[in-house]
Structure 1
Amino acid sequence: MIPVFDGHNDFLQRLVVEGADTAKIWGEGDGTGHIDLRRLQAGGMFGGFFALWAPTPDPADGIDWKARQQNPPYAVPLDGLIDTGAATEHMMRLAGRLDALERAGSLSICRSVAEITDAKDGGRIAAILHMEGAEGIADPETLHAWHRMGLRSLGPVWSRQNAYGHGVPFAFPGDPDSGPGLSEAGKRLVAECDSLRVLVDLAHLNAKGVEDVARISNAPLVSTHSGAHAVAQSSRNLTDAQLDMIAATSGLVGLNFAAGFVRPDGRRLPFDGFDPYLRHLDHLLEKLGEDGVALGSDFDGALMPTHLPDAAALPAFLAAMTEHGYGAELVEKIAWKNWMSVLKRTWER
């Protein structure tokens, strides 16, 4: 079985929202969601980015926006600033769940590629502590405290405005060039992440924000879970100009599995087979090269297609890559090796 390392999941949010028994859901599963220990092992996934995220209030217009996304065009309105204290408290609860899994012995929170390798070799899940939207960081001292707790990846924004910048909203057809770039606080945050060797994630960041990160950071540019705008015109996908910027730094994009972002018609509905994924991969490989493409599932945070209902089905997706004409070496790069390379170049500069 080909190993898999994944650029994004929202498993911790699922645990907290459901008020679930952490040990039971992780160890045994409950028939819901996309991830638990058994399904990760069945799919060959030995680790990935575990996200901390603070919920945003539902739009006050009364529209069922998930249903609305089934028939584009759409543009989901999102509120702006949320309370930093409440966001920090919520993210601490998520981090506590991850810490509980580490204390139970089946997972390791990893701060280096060597620690990821040790976890993999020891049969433990290798987890990167990732913050999706920096509302959990009130000031530089808070960033350092999170870093001491194990934070090694941070997206300055989710798809809403915060004190650091502007997220790209959910829209189809849509363009990531929406709104201004990073605030002065956001620029300082990126510079401080660079000094700490914390990966700065471009996913959810608008176009001008991406340009700001490119000017400030000396690290490879990385988007943990995105797609190609040339294939599907979702505002969440990366334009060719953005892919060129990432390629110039020998950076990386993890392919988002979310059905509504990869379908060329933008409909938030499942699809059969893997053709939309392969179309995105073909384009990403053309723009980024064989060393710049990986996987960023968004498991437990997005709608999955029919033939990839959860992590256990990953071997079928890898087999589809082979049938599509990708050689064994390329499939392994996409599945896990490219993540190891970019993390080493980011964390060990």
Structure 2
Amino acid sequence: MVDLHCHYPMHLLGGVEAPRDVAEKMLRVRAREAGKLRAAVLHIAARLFNFRHWDGGWRVSVPLLQQGGVNVACSVLYRPFSEMDLDEPYGAPPESAYYDRLVELLDATEQDVEARGHIVVRAADDLQRAQRTGRIAFVHCVEGGFHLGATPAEVTEHVHELAERGVLYITLAHLFWRRVATNAPALPFLPDALYDLLFPQSGVPPLTDLGEAAVKACDESGIVVDISHMREDAIDATFDLLSPDAQVMASHAGYRFGGQRYNLTDATLARVAARGGVVGLILAQHQLNDGVRRTNTRTLAQTLDVIDRHVEKIGPDHVALGSDLDGFIKPTMGGVESAADLQALADGIRARHPGSADRILAQNALRVIDRRFS
């Protein structure tokens, strides 16, 4: 099974080792992240918007992935306090130092994964080696174009460096406008209209010069552009820049049954499918239930009912799982509290979609991954 979008590195921020030690050890955040204030903010945010209970723990770890039957984990690199820079006003441009912080987390992730006996994917041989040995293949991904640099030249150079390090995809937009690409509202505790009021993006270009440089560099280097989080004008601008054979994906999204602009329209899905791309289903109540249910799912069976609707609309050849676990998506879909629960979810998908389950759970995602590393 492949999870196209899980925040495995999140628990490594600040040198946190054990999930239940977060309260004490989050105060050991590296000096580059401005110390205790940022540590306290992340500590509180994790409990409010990620952990199931206030005294809970992270949802993604090696043991939990193993219990969940995940053998390829698309491991998302994200520095929250580069995006939510507490020293800068809303909409401030990216800083060059953000890239160094990203690489710091990438290095820490590689050291952790390899110390635990698993494999970081940098080439096709690494994927094959993981399959032969039964170890988990961790594939680097980047969420947020603000990480990439402060000038188009920096962005171009850094994207090519990340390609050499084995990055699969880059999500250029994320939660807030940082002068790279316009984003759709995605915060589970804010309706779209209120988000627009608090975090306006009127009159800004869908892709700035930084965003255009990132798209072009991804195209040149083979990194896949992930259109998750993008506003529709940014999606259009991205497709206009990409070469005809460039891959595109949405690592954690869904079909737009309702009014949420985060989810994807028929027109966008058709463009993704035309390039052989894939959509990983985000396991967040806020996004996946929109237009399908008025209340949250409470059981795995109810969650599978919702997933069935998305599979039907997106199509079994272009849908996968992109859980976004540990990505501050509380509440998660009923029956999915951690990566360990993905095994039961997969069993339910196999029972309901016997002819296409292998594609949904692995083959569609591997098609994109294999092509990236071919």
TM over 0.5: yes
Q: Into which bin does the TM-score normalised by the smaller protein fall?
A: 0.7 to 0.9
Q: Distance in 1 between matches of 2:181 and 2:369?
A: 24
Matched to 1:224, the amino acid is S
Alpha-carbon distance, 1:167 to partner: 1.7
Confirm or deny that 1:123 pairs with 2:134: yes
Say which is worse superposed, 310-319 or 292-301, in terms of deviation.
310-319
Confirm or deny that 1:98 pairs with 2:109: yes
Alpha-carbon distance, 1:114 to partner: 3.9
Alpha-carbon distance, 1:208 to partner: 1.2
For the Cα contact (< 8 Å) 2:3–2:323, is it kept in 1?
Answer: yes
For the Cα contact (< 8 Å) 2:145–2:171, is it kept in 1?
Answer: yes
Structure 2 SS opposite 1:321: helix
**1:268-287 deviation line (CA, Å, top 9, x unaligned):** 96632343454344334434
Alpha-carbon distance, 1:211 to partner: 1.3
> Counterpart of 1:70?
none
Q: 5 Å matches for 1:203-282?
A: 203-217=228-242, 218-230=245-257, 232-264=258-290, 271-282=298-309
Alpha-carbon distance, 1:130 to partner: 0.9
> Counterpart of 1:12?
9
Confirm or deny that 1:132 pairs with 2:157: no
Confirm or deny that 1:318 pairs with 2:346: yes
Matched to 1:253, the amino acid is V
**Partner of residue 217 from structure 2, selected from 178, 192, 196:** 192
**Partner of residue 160 from structure 2, selected from 134, 137, 144:** 144
Q: Distance in 1 between matches of 2:12 and 2:216?
A: 32
For the Cα contact (< 8 Å) 2:302–2:334, is it kept in 1?
Answer: no
Structure 2 SS opposite 1:115: helix
Q: Distance in 1 between matches of 2:93 and 2:296?
A: 29
Q: Distance in 1 between matches of 2:125 and 2:265?
A: 33
> Counterpart of 1:290?
316
Q: Distance in 1 between matches of 2:115 and 2:145?
A: 28
For the Cα contact (< 8 Å) 1:285–1:292, is it kept in 2?
Answer: no
Confirm or deny that 1:80 pairs with 2:108: no
**Partner of residue 42 from structure 1, selected from 67, 75, 86:** 67
Judged with a 3 Å threshold, the aligned counterparts in structure 2 of structure 1 residues 335 and 346 are, in CA distance, closer, same or farther, namely same
> Counterpart of 2:176?
160
Q: Distance in 2 between matches of 1:185 and 1:58?
A: 18
Judged with a 3 Å threshold, the aligned counterparts in structure 2 of structure 1 residues 213 and 268 are, in CA distance, closer, same or farther, namely farther
> Counterpart of 2:335?
307
**Partner of residue 122 from structure 2, selected from 111, 118, 121:** 111
Alpha-carbon distance, 1:322 to partner: 3.6
Matched to 1:162, the amino acid is R
Matched to 1:167, the amino acid is N
Alpha-carbon distance, 1:162 to partner: 2.6
Identity level (%): 23
Q: Distance in 2 between matches of 1:124 and 1:106?
A: 8
The alignment's C-alpha RMSD in Å is 3.1
Judged with a 3 Å threshold, the aligned counterparts in structure 2 of structure 1 residues 34 and 268 are, in CA distance, closer, same or farther, namely farther
Return the structure number with greater helix share.
Answer: 2
Alpha-carbon distance, 1:298 to partner: 0.4
Judged with a 3 Å threshold, the aligned counterparts in structure 2 of structure 1 residues 79 and 13 are, in CA distance, closer, same or farther, namely farther
Alpha-carbon distance, 1:45 to partner: 0.4
Structure 1 SS opposite 2:168: strand
Structure 2 SS opposite 1:286: helix
**Partner of residue 331 from structure 1, selected from 337, 353, 357:** 357
Structure 2 SS opposite 1:236: coil
Task: Please report the TM-score for the alignment, with normalisation by the length of structure 2.
Answer: 0.75
For the Cα contact (< 8 Å) 2:94–2:178, is it kept in 1?
Answer: no
Judged with a 3 Å threshold, the aligned counterparts in structure 2 of structure 1 residues 87 and 277 are, in CA distance, closer, same or farther, namely farther
For the Cα contact (< 8 Å) 2:11–2:19, is it kept in 1?
Answer: no
For the Cα contact (< 8 Å) 1:22–1:97, is it kept in 2?
Answer: no
Structure 2 unmatched runs, 5+: 22-54
Judged with a 3 Å threshold, the aligned counterparts in structure 2 of structure 1 residues 82 and 188 are, in CA distance, closer, same or farther, namely closer
**1:72-130 deviation line (CA, Å, top 9, x unaligned):** xxxxxx93235423422432332122121243152222134442231132232211111
Structure 2 SS opposite 1:93: helix
**1:266-318 deviation line (CA, Å, top 9, x unaligned):** 8896632343454344334434x322110000011122234111111112212
Residue correspondences, number: 318
**1:218-260 deviation line (CA, Å, top 9, x unaligned):** 3232000001111x43332112221122122221100000121
Structure 2 SS opposite 1:204: coil
Structure 1 SS opposite 2:162: helix
Structure 1 unmatched runs, 5+: 61-77
Matched to 2:322, the amino acid is G
